[in-house]
Every structure is written in structure tokens, then in C-alpha cells.
């Protein structure tokens, strides 16, 4: 019962904000992308390490990478340059305190990619209010307020497969 109330209030709150539709979004062309922000789920440390190894290859291509993650309690890989928020940084319906996310959502990233394979409210909130030119996430019919471009992940596909698809589509936009 409490969960359904939280879900309802979160949905109403996030869709009531005019900013979600007012920020000018732009198509991103892979070769022109200079900054990429990644939203990370810190639940599984092994999966996160594999993902970080993939993400760092974008830096090798000359792209500036920013990382923002959510984990319930203690963040893994504290030595990594990841801005973490935890359960204690949220209000009772799952919305992050602005003091913890403001500097991240105010940055004009060329692209923001949510890499979480499941719905994580704090990351959806950050995506919704991000000033990124293009926000990309996994396809969920009811999450159009979070993303400008969504990709469907088939059963058995990994986050690595998802990032390969993201790259493919962004490179196709150049054609």
C-alpha cells in the first residue's frame, strides 16, 4: 500500500514540473559529442566494474565522461570519480535532495545515458531534470518524461550490448 502511494506521488511530482518539457533538446552526432554523462546502478560491484571499463574507453576516444550513481547504502569503488547518492540522500518518496544533484543536473552534457537495467527513481529524477542535450535510457512506455531517446533491451542482452546499440544509433545520425 505504501509503495503504491509512493509510486503515485513520485509520478505526479515528476510530471508536474514544467521544466521536463521546456529544455531545448538536440540530436547528438557521435563525432561531435564531447561530453557524456552516465547514470550508474551501484548494486552489483562486479557488473559496475565491467561497465566502468567500457565507459573509460570513451575517454580514450577523447570524450569527457562524468559519472553519477545510486546505491542504497555504501558505494563501491570510492576511489572512482563517481558522484554517489544513497538512500539517506532521498526524501520519503525517493526524490534526491537538490543539494546532492544540482551541480550534476545543471551541466550541459551533450548526452546523458542511464545505464541502469531496472527502474531506479533517483536516477530517473536526475535524467528528467538534466540539462543534457540528449537523454537516453532503456525503453519503458511510461517513462517518456525521463528520456528523449529510448532503446529496447531484449532478454539476455547486457548493459554492454545496450551501449553498443546507443553508439550505433548515435553514429547513424551522422549518415
- Work out whether the CA dihedral 166, 13, 18, 65 comes out positive or negative: negative
pLDDT over 90 at 27, yes or no: no
pLDDT tens-digit profile of 99-119? 889 999 999 999 999 999 999
- In the predicted structure, residue 3 carries a pLDDT above the cut 70: no
Q: In the predicted model, is pLDDT for residue 10 greater than 90?
A: no
Domain count along the chain: 1
Local confidence band at 17 (pLDDT 50, 70, 90 cut-offs): low
Per-residue confidence band for 54, with pLDDT thresholds at 50, 70 and 90? very high
Q: According to the model, what pLDDT value does residue 74 have?
A: 83
CATH code where residue 56 lies: 3.40.50
pLDDT value for 164? 95
Q: Which domain holds residue 76?
A: 2-18+26-172
What per-residue string of b and e applies to 40-78 under the rule 16 or more CB within 10 Å gives b?
A: bbbbeeebbeebbeebeebeeeebebbbbbbbeeebbbe
pLDDT computed for residue 92 by the predictor: 84
Structure confidence at residue 47 (pLDDT): 93
- Global pTM reads 0.88
pLDDT the model gives residue 57: 96
In contact, 102 and 18? CB cutoff 8 Å: no
Tens of pLDDT, residues 110-156:
999 999 999 999 999 999 999 999 999 999 988 888 899 999 999 99
Span 32-42, pLDDT tens digits: 999 999 999 99
Amino acid at each position: 500500500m505504501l509503495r503504491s502511494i509512493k509510486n503515485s506521488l513520485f509520478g505526479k511530482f515528476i510530471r508536474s514540473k514544467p521544466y521536463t518539457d521546456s529544455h531545448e533538446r538536440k540530436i547528438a552526432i557521435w563525432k561531435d559529442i564531447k561530453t557524456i554523462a552516465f547514470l550508474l546502478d551501484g548494486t552489483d560491484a562486479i557488473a559496475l566494474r565491467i561497465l566502468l571499463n567500457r565507459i573509460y574507453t570513451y575517454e580514450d576516444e577523447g570524450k569527457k565522461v562524468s559519472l553519477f550513481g545510486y546505491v542504497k547504502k555504501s558505494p563501491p569503488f570510492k576511489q572512482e570519480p563517481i558522484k554517489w547518492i544513497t538512500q539517506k540522500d532521498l526524501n520519503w518518496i525517493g526524490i534526491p535532495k537538490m543539494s546532492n544533484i544540482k551541480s550534476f543536473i545543471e551541466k550541459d552534457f551533450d548526452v546523458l545515458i542511464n545505464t541502469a537495467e531496472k527502474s531506479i527513481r533517483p536516477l530517473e529524477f536526475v535524467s528528467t531534470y538534466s540539462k543534457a542535450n540528449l537523454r537516453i535510457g532503456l525503453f519503458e512506455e511510461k517513462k517518456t518524461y525521463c528520456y528523449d531517446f529510448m532503446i529496447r533491451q531484449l532478454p539476455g542482452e547486457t548493459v554492454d550490448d545496450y551501449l553498443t546499440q546507443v553508439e550505433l544509433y548515435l553514429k547513424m545520425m551522422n549518415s
